[in-house]
Amino acid sequence: MNTENKTVKFKIKRQITPDSEPFWEEYEVPWKPSLNVITLLMAQNTDPITNNGSKTTPASYDANCLEEVCGSCTMIINGKVRQACTALVDKLEQPISIEPMTKFPIVRDLMVDRQRMFESLKWVKGWVPIDNSSPVGKGPNISSEEQQKAYNFSSCMTCGCCLESCPQWSSDEAFIGPQAIAQAILFNTHPTGKSLESERVQALINNGLNICGNAQNCAAVCPKEVDLIGAISEANWQATKHIAKSFLGKH
Ligand code: FES
């Protein structure tokens, strides 16, 4: 097949400042084998000219690992929230539509402020509390079954797909969201992390755990197939036990 004149058509939703009006720009670049959406954005940045020949500015976007590990390149591509680095051009209908996520404040163009996600990890103390100041010896054994479960939760890359798709979550509302709930469960399952279980569960209760409406969109879009439904169910069970213990004065 002659691919010499083959091109890729795409459009980007631009927004120059957090408060300015968004607008679309369309582009057309030469096709090459194995292009992904990040390579389209790189081409636009190198030669920022729209498909009607007007000079424009390079579109801003976040990306880092380029292998679906860091989550920073999450955006909406042809209407679906996903990572741009693994969105292969040959598998996408053209013109490819590229938009920023809608639930996070816009910084510029495709860059959004994902700070709320990282804050929510602080609320649930998403860590194992050891200070490493002195040798603590061998840690407790963790069964293979527990390791498998923890591995699944630990593959969360804080990308934001679950929050973007959740009808109950937005960056300025009460619901903490599935990503932080899953991380609370991850660290509550760890033999050492467990020491902060009560504080984590209280943080989930204080931050709208009960607001989840069980839409299950989060699990459907998670690129790492994290068991978000299982995590929410486990969190609700831990919250019920926590409230019962408080009622009985056992905290
Ligand atoms: S650049 Fe890291 S997930 Fe895409």
Kindly report the protein residue whose alpha carbon is nearest to atom 3 of ligand 1.
68
Residue-range domains of the chain with CATH: 7-112 (3.10.20.30), 115-247 (1.10.1060.10)
Q: pLDDT 10s per residue in the chain (251 long)?
A: 667 789 999 999 999 999 999 999 999 999 999 999 999 999 999 999 999 999 999 999 999 999 999 999 999 999 999 999 999 999 999 999 999 999 999 999 999 999 999 999 999 999 988 777 777 778 788 999 999 999 999 999 999 999 999 999 998 889 999 999 999 999 999 988 999 999 999 999 999 999 999 999 999 999 999 999 999 999 999 999 999 998 888 76
pLDDT at 1: 61
Q: Check residue 58 and report its DSSP letter.
A: P
By most ligand atoms within 8 Å of CB, the mutation choice from 66, 98, 110, 159 for ligand 1 is 66
Residue 43 near residue 68 (C-beta atoms within 8 A): no
pTM of the predicted model as reported, rounded to 2 decimal places: 0.93
205 lines ligand 1 (CB under 6 A): no
Rounded distance, CA 151 to CA 250, Å? 32
Indicate which atom in ligand 1 lies nearest the CA of residue 71: 3
pLDDT at 164: 98
Residues contacting residue 48 through CB under 8 Å, at least 6 positions apart: 55, 56, 57, 58, 59
77 lines ligand 1 (CB under 6 A): no
Element (H, E) at 23: strand 23-30
